[in-house]
Amino acid sequence: MKTALICFSDAGSALAIKLCSLFGWRKEDVHSIVKFADKYGFTAHEKIAADMGELFRANGALVFIGACGIAVRDIAPHLKSKTEDPAVLVIDDRGRYVIPILSGHIGGANALAKEIADKLGGGAIPVVTTATDGAGRFSCDAWAATHNCAISSMTAAKEVSARILTEDVPITAEAAFALPDPLPSGLIPGKDGGGAGIYIGTETARKGLRLIPRILTLGIGCRRGTPAEAIAEAVRETFVEAGIDPVSVERIASIDVKRDEAGLVEYALRIGVPLRFYTADELNAVEGSFQESEFVKKTVGVGNVCERAAVLGSTNETAAGRLVIGKTAKYGVTVAAAARDWRIEF
């Protein structure tokens, strides 16, 4: 993740330079007041606090080297929520204690603190104060962040996290995914997830807290000039009918002749996922049984764009993509979705 280091002294500057060496960060990623920035080649600020808003927005992690109080005062005006705020850590300028103070789980501050302490060596101690970590119990939001899963409800996540501290919580998974044995401390196998249980998968009908892996490639074909609104509605209705959460989409795939299709490009930007395009030859080479159209084949050279693109886009080094939503036509748009090979690991 993009990381900014912030320091206020010679000792802190020396530690920042060491961290840059250990993690491959640049001196430009280190921010300080003019006195130390000029001396060490860092990015200079008249007042760090005055520029904290931009640093807060532009980085996935902020590492303060100095006192906790300075960090707290500087970031306080910019706090939004645990799902939006960057990871914030504080390290004393001697490098003895690494303290995550914000976004420990979802933002990854706890994991980064442990990594920094490990690389610093010399007895550096990560001071992790979140309850589940302190108790050695499973943390649903930390696991979700590490494994690129969306969280269905932060309210449910808080309820489950509180429950895990005092009792074991049932966990279930989509049929395509096997739960490892043994489970982490705080979890037990469940039958249906329960009202306060955990479910890992893409299905929307499951009860409890859903941790939704972002593993689907959305294959799309469309008529020339189809607007983004039509594509969005076609996708929405298709996923509702299939009972699959659209947040599980990690990319969109189509044929290369759609590379300049404005509606498709706009839709990808709206949902914040990359677009991948394939040639007709690449799509025709995909193995499997697909719903073919002679008209489409005569037009673009392949009889099915959406299913083939979805499968190809979700194929990885371990397995071919698994078609989970077959070709569905709506509003001049054809939609399909395929899942890449993915496994639950704790």
Mean model confidence pLDDT for the chain: 95
What distance in Å separates the CA atoms of residue 288 and residue 29, rounded to the nearest whole number? 48
Cα torsion angle, 83, 84, 85, 86, sign: positive
Q: Of the residues 81, 108, 129, which one is the last residue of a structural domain?
A: 129
Q: Could you report the per-residue pLDDT of 70-127, keeping only the tens digit for each?
A: 999 999 999 999 889 999 999 999 999 999 999 999 999 999 999 999 999 989 999 9
Does residue 345 sit within a domain?
Answer: no
At 118 the pLDDT is 96
List phi, psi (to 5°) of 38: -65, -35
Q: Are residues 297 and 314 in the same domain?
A: yes
Please give the C-alpha separations between residue 81 and each of 88, 147, 160, in angstroms, as whole numbers: 13, 20, 18
Only one residue has tokens 């395929």, namely: 338
- The reply to whether 160 and 251 lie within a common domain is no
172 and 223 housed in the same domain: no
How far are the Cα atoms of 11, 34, 62 from residue 8, in angstroms, in the given order? 8, 10, 14
In this model, does residue 33 exceed pLDDT 50?
A: yes
CA–CA gap between residue 34 and residue 102 (Å, rounded): 27
**Pair 264, 206 in one domain:** no
Separation between Cα atoms, residue 76 and residue 90, nearest integer Å: 14
Q: In this structure, are 205 and 225 located in the same domain?
A: no
Tokens of 108: 């990854």
For residue 43, what are its two tokens? 């990015």
* Same domain, residue pair 80 and 120: yes
pLDDT digits (tens, 9 = 90+) for 243-289: 999 999 999 999 999 999 999 999 999 999 999 999 999 999 999 99
Q: Same structural domain for residues 81 and 15?
A: yes
Query: What token pair was written down for 24?
Result: 């491959």
Residue 130: band (very low, low, confident or very high) from pLDDT cuts 50, 70, 90: confident
| 59 vs 6: CA distance, rounded Å | 12
Verify that 116 and 11 share a domain, yes or no: yes
Percent of the chain scoring above 90 in pLDDT: 90
Q: How many CB atoms lie within 10 A of CB 309?
A: 31
User: Which residue segment(s) compose the domain that 195 sits in?
Assistant: 142-212
- Give domain status of residue 134, yes or no: no
The total number of structural domains that make up the chain: 3
> What average pLDDT score do residues 137-161 get?
94
Q: What is the pLDDT of residues 179-211, one digit of tens each?
A: 999 999 999 999 864 556 999 999 999 989 999
Residues 16 and 95 in one domain: yes
Say yes or no to pLDDT of 298 above 90: no
Are 12 and 111 part of one and the same domain? yes
pTM of the model: 0.81
Name the domain boundary from 166, 192, 212.
212
Where does 52-200 have alpha helices with state H? Answer: 52-58, 68-75, 109-120, 131-135, 140-146, 154-164
Rounded Cα distance between 293 and 345, Å, is 40
Distance, CA of 189 to CA of 156 (rounded, Å): 19
Nearest to 55 by CA among 104, 123, 6, 124: 6
CA-CA distance, 155 to 137, in Å (whole number)? 19
159, 187, 212 - which closes a domain? 212
Is 137 part of a structural domain of the chain? no
Q: Is residue 228 one of the residues assigned to a domain? A: yes
Confirm whether 153 is domain-assigned.
yes
In a domain, residue 180? The reply is yes
Kindly report the CATH number assigned to the domain that includes residue 294. 3.30.420.180
Asked if residue 225 and residue 190 are part of one domain, the reply reads: no
Distances (CA, A) of 148 to 123, 210, 213, 238, 270: 31, 13, 6, 23, 19
Distances in whole angstroms, Cα of residue 10 to Cα of each of 13, 28, 37, 92: 5, 17, 10, 12
